[in-house]
């Protein structure tokens, strides 16, 4: 159990550990992202959380980054490490993996499946 002080935190990374994502290297993606954050001395800047299903299983393995509101698809240990270096530490999201980014709402990039709408 931990209670972190998040006042230095610039990014919150949610790593999907739901069933579909775990079949697509979810554990390895989680470990790679966390190891790269530590290797870069960025633990105070980047907080990570394992989640259950994020509702975009066809995108497995799914990783989301806040406060930017960037949703990544098809993440691997390699792209996870690149995300830490290029997006989280340099501000350049991995465009080829981005399925949504947030402006005034989530905007699809066209990289991923459209998905179905929830009933209103
Ligand atoms: S299990 Fe990851 S989005 Fe569903």
Instruction: Output the pLDDT for position 120.
Output: 72
Show the CA angle centred on residue 98, arms to residues 95 and 103, nearest 5°.
Answer: 100
How distant, in Å, are the alpha carbons of 61, 62, 86 from that of 54? 10, 8, 23
What CA–CA distance (Å, rounded) separates 103 from 120?
21
Q: Residues near ligand 1 with C-beta < 6 Å?
A: 16, 18-21, 53-57, 60, 62
- Which residue ranges make up each domain of the chain? 11-108
Q: How far is the CA of 16 from the centre of ligand 1 (A)?
A: 6
Instruction: Output the pLDDT for position 119.
Output: 87
Residue-wise pLDDT for 10-22, tens only, equals: 999 999 999 999 9
Q: Classify domain 11-108 at the CATH superfamily level.
A: Glutaredoxin (3.40.30.10)
Residue-wise pLDDT for 49-60, tens only, equals: 999 999 999 999
Nearest CA to ligand 1 atom 1: 18
Q: Tokens 């989301």 belong to which residue?
A: 64
Residue-wise pLDDT for 62-119, tens only, equals: 999 999 999 999 999 999 999 999 999 999 999 999 999 999 999 999 999 999 999 8
User: Is the whole-model pTM more than 0.75?
Assistant: yes
What CA–CA distance (Å, rounded) separates 32 from 82?
10
């Amino acid at each position: 159990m931990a209670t972190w002080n998040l006042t230095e935190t610039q990014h919150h990374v949610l790593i999907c550990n739901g069933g579909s994502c775990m079949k697509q290297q979810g554990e390895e993606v989680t470990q790679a992202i966390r190891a790269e954050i530590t290797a870069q001395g960025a633990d105070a800047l980047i907080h990570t959380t394992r989640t259950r299903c994020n509702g975009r299983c066809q995108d497995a393995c799914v990783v989301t980054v806040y406060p930017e509101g960037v949703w990544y698809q098809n993440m691997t240990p390699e792209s996870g490490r690149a995300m830490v270096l290029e997006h989280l530490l340099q501000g350049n999201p991995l465009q080829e993996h981005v399925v949504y980014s947030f402006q005034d709402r989530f905007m699809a990039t066209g990289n991923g499946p459209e998905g179905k709408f929830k009933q209103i």
